[in-house]
Amino acid sequence: MNATTRLGLLGLALTLSACSVLESDKIDYKSARKGPTLEVPPDLTQLSADTRYTVPGGAASAVAFEAGQKAKPSGPNTAPSTIGDVRIERDGNQRWLVVNRSAETLWDPVRDFWLESGFVFTTDNSELGILETDWAENRAKIPQDIIRSSIGKLFDGLYSTGERDRFRTRIERNPSGGSNIFVSHRGMVEVYSTTQKDATMWQPRPVDPELEAEFLRRMMVKLGVSEEQSKAAAASAQATPLAATAKVASVNGVPAIQMDEGFDRAWRRVGLSLDRTGFTVEDRNRAEGVYYVRYVAPDANKKEQGFFSKLFKGAPDAVPPLKYRVTVRSQGERSIVSVLNANGAPENSTNAERILRVLADDMK
C-alpha cells in the first residue's frame, strides 16, 4: 500500500469519525439478547398473566371497566398539543399520548414501533394493553473515535456503555373511543463493586423522563405525524408545576399515601409510577380505583445474582410473588392510596409500607 493510499484511508476514517461524532446524540438501541430475561431488581417480577380477572370471551376486565367510563376533560394541570388525531399531554415530568383511535387499531403499529427501534419483548399482552421490552443498550452512546469507527464494528461486543434500559408501554382505552398511550423507562448502570475496581455490579439508575418523551415523540411519527410536527408538538407541551405532594402516613391504622389532588390525576400518577418502578400490573379497574399487582419481597440474606448471571442462567430459587391491590380513593380534592391483600382486606405489613414508599418516592 503506497503512501497516497494510506493517507486516503486515514482521511476517510477521520471523515467517518467526524460524522459519527456529529450524530452521537441519536438513539440506537440493541437488545441484550433475543429472548425473555429475568427482572432486575429482584423484588419486581414479570410472570405470565393471571386469568383471574379476565372477562369471558377473552377481553381483559380493564378494557370493560374503562370502556364504560364517561369522558373527562383534561384539567388545568395538563397542556395538550394536537396534530391530527394525536395529541401529547404533560403533567409535571409525566407525558403521554392521547390518540383518537381504538386500542385494537393502535396495538400493531405501537408494537412494530418498538421492534423497529431495536427491542424485543418480555411482556407482549394485547388483552391488557401492555408491552415491555427486554434490557437494551443505546449503542449511540459509545464514543466514536477513529479506532471504533474504522475497525471497532467488527468486534461490536467488546464495546459497552455500561448502561441498560427497558421500556413499558401501556395502552388504555378512553370512553370516547380513543386511547391513552403511556411509556415508562427503567435503567441500570454498571458500577465497581470493590475498592480495587476488579469487579462490577449492576444497580438501578434514575428514571429518564426526557427519554420517555423522546420515544413518545417518535411514536407520534409512527402514527402518521411528520417529524417536524412531532418536534413542534413535543416542544409546545409545556411543563406544569407539580405542587401536589405525595407522603406516606398512617390512615385508620394502616399505611397509606396522602395526595393533595383529585382522583383523575392521582390515578394517572400512581399508574405511571407502578410502571416506572417495575411492578407487574395484572389488571386494573378504574371504576373502583384498583390496580392488581404482583410483588416479590427482597431477601436480605440471599446473595443477589449479577445482571448477566440472571440474564443467561435464570433464577431457579426465585421467591414466588405475592398478590396485592393498590387502591386509589377520592376524598374531595384529595386522594388516598393504600394496599389491600389478595382478598381485599387492608394490609398493614412491612411489604405494604415498602410498596407505598417506593411509589411515593417516585411521585415526589
97-136, pLDDT tens digit by residue? 999 999 999 999 999 999 999 999 999 999 889 999 999 9
How would residue 332 be classed by pLDDT, with cut points 50, 70 and 90? confident
Spatial neighbors of 348 by CB under 8 A, at least 6 apart, are 253, 254, 255
Q: What are the two backbone dihedrals, phi and then psi, of residue 355, each rounded to the nearest 5 degrees?
A: -60, -45
Within 13 Å and on the Cβ side, how many CA atoms surround 231? 3
pLDDT at 45 over 60: no
Q: What pLDDT sits at residue 33?
A: 55
Looking at the DSSP bridge assignments, the partners of residue 146 are none
d(CA 54, CA 170): 17
Determine the distance from the C-alpha atom of residue 22 to the mean position of all C-alpha atoms in its chain, rounded to a whole number.
28
What are the tens digits of pLDDT across the range 84-96?
899 998 888 889 9
pLDDT at 318: 57
Rounded distance between C-alpha atoms, residue 186 and residue 212, angstroms: 10
Residue the block writes with cell 370502556: 67
Note the pLDDT of residue 324: 95
CA distances from 83 to 90, 104, 227, 260 (A): 15, 21, 11, 32
Q: Structure pTM?
A: 0.70
The amino acid at residue 266 is: A
* Angstrom distance (rounded) from CA 211 to CA 215: 6
Residue 345, pLDDT above cutoff 90:
yes
**Res. 143: pLDDT tops 50:** yes
305: helix, strand or coil? coil
User: In the predicted model, what is the mean pLDDT of residues 223-230?
Assistant: 94
Task: From 210, 185, 173, 183, select the one nearest 99 (Cα to Cα).
Answer: 173
pLDDT above 50 for 187? yes
- Helices 209-222 and 227-236: crossing angle in degrees, nearest 10, is 140
Name every residue whose Cβ is closer than 8 Å to that of residue 283 and which is 6 or more positions away in sequence: 50, 53, 60, 61, 62, 128, 291, 292
More confident position, 290 or 2: 290
Average pLDDT taken over every residue of the chain: 75
Nearest by Cα to 280 from 216, 324, 342: 324
Give residue 105's pLDDT: 94
- For 19, the grid coordinates are 460524522
pLDDT of residue 171: 94
SS3 62: helix
Residue 39 pLDDT greater than 80, yes or no: no
Name the percent of the chain lying above pLDDT 70.
Answer: 65
- Main-chain phi, psi angles of 85, to 5 degrees: -100, 15
Q: What is the pLDDT of residues 4-35, one digit of tens each?
A: 444 444 444 444 444 433 333 578 887 655 44
- Cell 380513543 sits at which residue? 178
The kind and range of the H/E element at 167 are strand 163-173
Residues 253-271 pLDDT 10s? 899 999 988 898 899 899 9
For residue range 319-331, list pLDDT tens digits in order: 678 899 999 999 8
